[in-house]
């Protein structure tokens, strides 16, 4: 038989089906879009059938493409299982996104747990604004994202609640009488900013945003300079140079969810979900160093 179904084109084909487009598939596989397109053309040449057709601004599988997808998954599973039986492992690369809120506590623990449960997984972290991480999930640039707020999407799995604490400079004094409380906050949109102002409003305490920042370091610097109070998620670890304030109303915790891009293997998602659920069930933790294989990319914002 002269026609051959190669493994690399099959992986590209499955990625297109899972991510919903050629560019997203290319991003998830760390290939160029041209390479993915060429792989699909090779499969179409081998099968003699059109496998993917344009649909609006995207693409979708034809009937023949759906048939091949079933067999492609079986072939790839058997291929990978065979290599594993000889002690050979294919290294999967996963990008985990997170906002800066409690990242110092969440990410080292998560990285250490995944190093144990998924030792062949190559991890890269990205810190960014929640809106950017959602865009990254949709475009295939981010595989998993730790996001605050309601898990009102099929891609989201709730893992617990982040307790919130008011912080201020050790010498900061609450304004006398009914004077507004100066608040330091992240730029909008931000779940912590909203929760801080909502908490004060619900308790009839006037407030004003006195300082804003796009990154956690800027918020902490402004608070340390005495410009106001800020609501933070620190899992009980007080930031250096700051002091918790218990004379302000206790805020409700914020829910945390793990969001997974379309098509990501449940075998990758489940250990991350389990690790974070265990972590958030603890009263406190001691931060651990990042493993060498888990670099962190910092984007503008939080």
Please state the rounded mean pLDDT for residues 247-276. 88
What's residue 125's pLDDT? 87
Q: Which of 219, 244, 269 is the last residue of a domain?
A: 244
CA nearest to 60, candidates 52, 72, 49 = 52
What is the residue range of 148's domain? 92-160+254-298
Is the pLDDT reported for residue 299 higher than 80? Answer: no
Say which residues have a Cβ less than 8 Å from residue 84's Cβ, sequence separation at least 6.
none
Q: Which of 56-70, 172-186, 260-274 shows the highest mean pLDDT?
A: 172-186
* C-alpha–C-alpha distance, residues 106 and 95, integer Å: 15
Please state the rounded mean pLDDT for residues 39-56. 89
Per residue in 202-253, pLDDT tens?
A: 999 999 999 999 888 899 999 999 999 999 988 878 888 999 999 999 999 9
Q: Would 1 be classed as within a structural domain?
A: no
- Residue, of 105 and 220, whose pLDDT is higher: 220
* C-alpha–C-alpha distance, residues 140 and 155, integer Å: 13
Please state the rounded mean pLDDT for residues 254-262. 89
CATH number (domain holding residue 68):
1.10.10.10
pLDDT tier at 91, thresholds 50, 70, 90? low
Could you list the beta-strand ranges (E) of the chain.
52-55, 58-61, 92-98, 121-127, 144-148, 156-162, 165-168, 181-186, 207-213, 230-232, 243-244, 254-260, 296-298
CATH number (domain holding residue 143):
3.40.190.10
**0.75 exceeded by the pTM?**
no
Q: Would 217 be classed as within a structural domain?
A: yes
CA nearest to 136, candidates 2, 259, 5 = 259
Please state the rounded mean pLDDT for residues 183-197. 91
Tell me how many domains the chain contains.
Answer: 3
Per residue in 161-171, pLDDT tens?
A: 888 999 999 99
Q: Would 199 be classed as within a structural domain?
A: yes
* C-alpha–C-alpha distance, residues 4 and 1, integer Å: 8
Per residue in 48-58, pLDDT tens?
A: 999 998 877 77
**50 alpha-carbon distance from chain centroid:** 35
Residue 103, phi then psi, degrees to nearest 5: -60, -35
What's residue 46's pLDDT? 92
Q: Would 218 be classed as within a structural domain?
A: yes
Q: Which of 89-103, 106-120, 254-268 has the lowest mean pLDDT?
A: 89-103
């Amino acid at each position: 038989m002269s026609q051959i179904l190669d493994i690399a084109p099959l992986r590209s084909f499955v990625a297109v089906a899972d991510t919903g487009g050629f560019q997203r598939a290319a991003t998830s596989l760390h290939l160029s879009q041209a390479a993915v397109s060429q792989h699909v053309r090779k499969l179409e040449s081998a099968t003699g059938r059109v496998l993917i057709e344009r649909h609006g601004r995207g693409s979708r599988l034809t009937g023949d493409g759906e048939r091949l997808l079933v067999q492609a998954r079986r072939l790839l599973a058997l291929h990978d299982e065979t290599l594993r039986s000889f002690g050979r492992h294919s290294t999967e690369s996963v990008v985990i996104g997170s906002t800066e809120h409690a990242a110092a506590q969440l990410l080292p623990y998560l990285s250490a747990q995944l190093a144990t449960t998924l030792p062949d997984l190559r991890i890269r972290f990205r810190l960014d604004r929640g809106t950017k991480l959602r865009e990254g999930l949709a475009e295939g640039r981010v595989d998993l994202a730790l996001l605050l707020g309601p898990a009102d999407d099929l891609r989201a799995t709730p893992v617990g609640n982040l307790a919130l604490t008011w912080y201020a400079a050790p010498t900061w004094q609450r304004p006398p009488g009914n004077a507004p409380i100066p608040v330091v906050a992240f730029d909008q949109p931000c779940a912590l900013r909203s929760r801080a102002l909502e908490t004060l409003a619900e308790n009839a305490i006037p407030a004003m945003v006195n300082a804003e920042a796009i990154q956690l370091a800027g918020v902490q610097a402004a608070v340390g300079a005495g410009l106001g109070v800020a609501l933070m998620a620190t899992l009980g670890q007080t930031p250096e140079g700051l002091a918790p304030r218990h004379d302000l109303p206790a805020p409700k915790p914020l829910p945390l969810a793990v969001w997974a891009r379309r098509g990501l293997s449940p075998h990758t998602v489940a250990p991350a979900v389990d690790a974070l659920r265990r972590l958030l069930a603890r009263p406190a933790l001691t931060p651990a160093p990042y493993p060498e294989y888990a670099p962190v990319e910092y984007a503008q914002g939080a």
